[in-house]
Amino acid sequence: MKKLKPLLGLSMGLMCASALSGCSSEPVVTLHVLNAEDYICEGKDAEIYYDLDGDGEDEVYNSVLTLFELVEGKKLGKKVKVIYDCYDTNETMLSSLKTGKSHYDLVCCSDYTVQKMASSGLLQPIPKESVANYYGDEETAGYAPSFLREKMQGIEAPLPDGTKAILDDYTVGYMWGTLGIVYNSAKIAKDKGLDEARVHSDMREWANCWDPVYYGEMSVKDSMRDTYSMGIMKLFDQEIRDKLKASGFFDEDLFLKQEGTLEENYDAYLKAVEGYGPTITEIFNRCDKETVKEVEKVLLSLKENVFGFEVDSGKEDIQKGLVGMNLAWSGDATYAITHARNQWNTTLNYSIPKTGGNIWFDSWTLTREAKQPEMALDFLNFFCDPVIAAANQDYVGYTSFIAGENCRDVLIETHDARMHAMFEWDKKEEWYRYPETYIDPETGEEATKEEPAYSEDYGYVYDPHFVGSDLDVCVYDGVEYEGGWDQYAEDHGWNVVNLEYFFKMDDVYEGFGINPDDEEAEPSVDFYGESPLDNPYLVFSDEKVVEYQGESFVAGGALYAQYPPQTIVPKLAIMRDYGPDNSNVLTMWENVKSNNLPIAGVVVFGIILVAAAGLVVAGLITKRRYHVIKVARRKETARK
């Protein structure tokens, strides 16, 4: 699980349920749900727009759990209560379930834990017809992208009866992401006297994390599986390179040198997937004794080169400049990149090295002991509604397993370069880059430097240069920009990112209101246009293009972290449960951890302790302000 917080009492929810049922004579139907803390849209800052009454008017709710209680209660004609508990680690949760002391209808956990639970007989298959929003039905495709489900279908777990469980039959995906390197190229270049372009280039190779030139710059996850996967990629680097070259897919840039969309180059794409996907998965999951022994050596050498290990401070440390590189989950990378940009005016980047890496899933499972299985399936279908999925993604910050128009809207509001241009974070609560006089978009009146254009509540400003602009029309200094956003993008070096692989449904453009088999349908946009203005699968990105030693590539940012490029996808592999080799890997990890801290870590350990309290407070404040800025952006955009 990639979002883990301090343990909450697993029995607390059960006591609350008893108390509630004793306070009212009205029968209460209770659903018991277990998840990681802070991994759901719920809180005073949450906003879910939902038409509960079916009258065409949305109401605003601040908890998806409360909303589900209302929706399900209306369906059943009974009072519904969700008892929602949280855990700290997958291992703690699994141990508790195995003892039989805790009982839940639904549990959300990481991919390898699903395998353990299935093998232990703790789960039951999920009837696909009951979760149409995810799996689809005879008329429409589900909202779960096929490439994600195919990853699930490739993972098996042995069942107690000797048969094998396929992960896709036992889970409904919730969030997903990758493991990569978040880095500060400017800091590293300054510290080490390097060309900044070289730093960007080096971060595209796992092996460079071992390069002495980066001594003391990197913090590594204090996580056995994640750091082990990094060691695997280093240990088998040459074998992986040879396989990539044999597939014709090593240089990701070559794939897109031809003009056209992914669909027009689909044969080449499939060939790459078929030629390399199984290979990287096999290598990625090697955990025999000999491999584990060699990985231990690799990680011990890495330890000598890095700043140290961290549990959850990496995303804050890199913003503050305590480290220049961090092994990060994509959700934490997104958080760090976005907040560094908004709060500190610092540019961070995220890279999944060219040879590939880990793709992980957090998924919902239906327990064998579920007392409310039908309601549990309704809960899953509700959570796969794009409206709800988008709310969870927007609030949590990780990437939803669900595609559709609503989730794409969250992407646009958060990462589209047009939004970055039109809105600015105002950390000092003053705006000093506008002209001497301008028209305040809030009041419509003339303002000057002595009248700062900012909101004390939101800490954001609408850039007065773009007054009159929206996502379709670009107005700059009161004049419509010649050529519109497309020309502005070209003039300012923006890129166009293709996300068809994620948002395009297999047979129905569900969520965008177009069925390609319906000859009478009137498309509202051109789905094969070359601009994000007329193709909903394309996104403007202001991520920097880097030139280095004849190579041209994009230095990934927050958009890259949440939705990796389509050329990276075939190189991503699920790390399976270690099974009987788990004890070997655990022993290896204890050996790596038992050594003294790296010298670089000792030198500044005191600095981290002193800064820790401040970082926690700043992080909490920033998280709230950043959520509210997105709300403000939506409201301002809606007025345009």
- Per-residue pLDDT tens digits for 551-574: 888 999 999 999 998 878 888 999
pLDDT for residue 488 is more than 70: yes
Q: Could you give the 3-state DSSP secondary structure of residue 539?
A: strand
Residue 403 lies in a domain: no
CATH number reported for the structural domain that contains residue 293 in this entry: 3.40.190.10
What pLDDT, on the 0 to 100 scale, is given for residue 407? 93
How far is C-alpha 295 from the chain's CA centre?
28
Q: CA–CA separation, 192 vs 199, rounded Å? A: 10
What pLDDT, on the 0 to 100 scale, is given for residue 180? 98
Percent of the chain with pLDDT over 70: 76
With bands split at pLDDT 50, 70 and 90, how would you rate the model's confidence at 13? very low
Residue 168 lies in a domain: no
What pLDDT, on the 0 to 100 scale, is given for residue 567? 79
What pLDDT, on the 0 to 100 scale, is given for residue 491? 97
Give mean pLDDT, residues 285-313.
95
The better pLDDT of the pair 472, 344 is held by: 472
Residue 245 lies in a domain: yes
Give mean pLDDT, residues 218-240.
96
Residue 281 lies in a domain: yes
With bands split at pLDDT 50, 70 and 90, how would you rate the model's confidence at 436? low
Residue 119 lies in a domain: no
Q: How many domains does the chain have?
A: 1
pLDDT for residue 11 is more than 60: no
Q: CA–CA separation, 424 vs 345, rounded Å? A: 11
What pLDDT, on the 0 to 100 scale, is given for residue 192? 97
Residue 132: is it exposed, middle or buried by C-beta count within 10 angstroms (0-12/13-18/19+)?
A: middle
Lowest mean pLDDT among 340-344, 411-415, 609-613: 609-613
Q: What is the helix (H) or strand (E) element at residue 418, kind and residue range?
A: helix 417-422
What pLDDT, on the 0 to 100 scale, is given for residue 539? 94
Lowest mean pLDDT among 455-469, 471-485, 591-605: 591-605
The better pLDDT of the pair 378, 257 is held by: 378
pLDDT for residue 144 is more than 70: yes
Q: Could you give the 3-state DSSP secondary structure of residue 81?
A: strand
What pLDDT, on the 0 to 100 scale, is given for residue 566? 81
Lowest mean pLDDT among 181-190, 336-345, 457-466, 495-504: 457-466
pLDDT for residue 188 is more than 90: yes
Contact by Cβ (8 Å): 155, 574: yes
In a 13 Å sphere around the CA of 503, the CA atoms on its Cβ side amount to 27
- Per-residue pLDDT tens digits for 230-267: 999 999 999 998 888 877 666 655 555 555 555 566 67
With bands split at pLDDT 50, 70 and 90, how would you rate the model's confidence at 27? confident
Length of the chain: 640
What pLDDT, on the 0 to 100 scale, is given for residue 440? 62
Q: CA–CA separation, 105 vs 294, rounded Å? A: 42
Query: Phi/psi of residue 492, each to 5°?
Result: -110, 15
With bands split at pLDDT 50, 70 and 90, how would you rate the model's confidence at 100? confident
- Residue 601, token pair as written in the block: 């870590």
pLDDT for residue 605 is more than 50: no
Contact by Cβ (8 Å): 41, 64: yes
What pLDDT, on the 0 to 100 scale, is given for residue 269? 67
Residue 550: left (phi > 0), alpha (psi -120 to 50), or beta?
A: left
Residue 226 lies in a domain: yes
How far is C-alpha 615 from the chain's CA centre?
22
Range(s) of the domain holding residue 299: 177-360+544-625
Mean pLDDT, the chain, rounded, equals: 83
Percent of the chain with pLDDT over 90: 60
What pLDDT, on the 0 to 100 scale, is given for residue 251? 60
What pLDDT, on the 0 to 100 scale, is given for residue 445? 75
Q: CA–CA separation, 422 vs 475, rounded Å? A: 10
- Per-residue pLDDT tens digits for 34-47: 999 899 999 988 99
What pLDDT, on the 0 to 100 scale, is given for residue 526? 40
Give mean pLDDT, residues 585-594.
95
Q: Could you give the 3-state DSSP secondary structure of residue 486?
A: helix
pLDDT for residue 211 is more than 60: yes
pLDDT for residue 16 is more than 50: no
DSSP string, 419-446: HHHHEEE-TTS---SS-SEEE-TTTSSE
pTM across the whole model? 0.83
Residue 539 lies in a domain: no
With bands split at pLDDT 50, 70 and 90, how would you rate the model's confidence at 512? very low
What pLDDT, on the 0 to 100 scale, is given for residue 438? 56
Of the candidates 554, 537, 463, 457, which has an alpha carbon nearest to the alpha carbon of residue 500? 537
What pLDDT, on the 0 to 100 scale, is given for residue 603? 47
Residue 387 lies in a domain: no
- Residue 415, token pair as written in the block: 């990462």
What pLDDT, on the 0 to 100 scale, is given for residue 595? 62
The better pLDDT of the pair 352, 618 is held by: 352
